[in-house]
Chains A and B, each alone.
Chain A
Amino acid sequence: GQNIDQPTEMTATEGAIVQINCTYQTSGFNGLFWYQQHAGEAPTFLSYNVLDGLEEKGRFSSFLSRSKGYSYLLLKELQMKDSASYLCAVVSGGYNKLIFGAGTRLAVHP
């Protein structure tokens, strides 16, 4: 079967660094996305990884290891507005099935 796992909730302090992990088991692999979602809104794109390694974009970085079925999203210099859900998603198979993990709710406190 296909499965994407991420922690349900995390808390962190403003100004700190937090790492959100994602492990996946899918039939084939065509890429991995990270999205941010605030309550009641559509997800917004953060990053995309298709090759192993680290992709950096401002305060956000995403890492992928295809052999381990593992990714993480790294958020630096946390701000209160970073309190949101973070969704890991994998594209797989010949029909490019795009499935999401259940999301990680991040709470940033002063």
Chain B
Amino acid sequence: DGGITQSPKYLFRKEGQNVTLSCEQNLNHDAMYWYRQDPGQGLRLIYYSQIVNDFQKGDIAEGYSVSREKKESFPLTVTSAQKNPTAFYLCASIPQGRGNTEAFFGQGTRLTVV
């Protein structure tokens, strides 16, 4: 079955450590997105990518980094520069062009700093 897979579902990080969240899709979608959601809040855009080897900063990119070496994969690294990383992270993808009738979401990664 096609879809988006995020891993791990839960992640614990010590202060000062970098961690990488995985996002893989087999939908052949060009566009991929990373969001952060804090309790009771909406989704805020971190980074997004339309094509391989290209990506744009979203509204809250500071303290995060991404790569897009393959169409299927869009990993997000939460660096030690992100001062408040505890949140729910969601990855999404949409097909390119006028057929983009739905944004598909992974099941999310809940990151906690300990």
Q: Check if A99 is an interface residue, CB within 8 A of chain B.
A: yes
Given contacts A43-B105, A50-B98, contact A100 B43 (CB under 8 A): yes
Q: Are A42 and B105 in contact (CB under 8 A)?
A: yes
Partner of A102, one of B41, B48, B88, B106: B41
Q: Check if A97 is an interface residue, CB within 8 A of chain B.
A: yes
Where chain A touches its partner, the secondary structure class is: strand
Q: Are B43 and A95 in contact (CB under 8 A)?
A: no
| Size class of the contact patch on chain B | 20 to 34
Bound state CA distance, A24 and B112, in angstroms?
33
Q: Which residues of B contact A97 (CB under 8 A)?
A: 45, 48, 56, 58
Given contacts A33-B103, A48-B101, contact A42 B90 (CB under 8 A): yes
Q: Check if B59 is an interface residue, CB within 8 A of chain A.
A: yes
Given contacts A42-B90, A100-B35, A103-B42, contact A30 B100 (CB under 8 A): yes
A18-50 residues with Cβ-Cβ distance < 8 A to B are 30-31, 33, 35, 40-45, 48, 50
- Which residues in A have some Cβ–Cβ distance to B below 8 Å? 30-31, 33, 35, 40-45, 48, 50, 87, 89, 91, 95-103
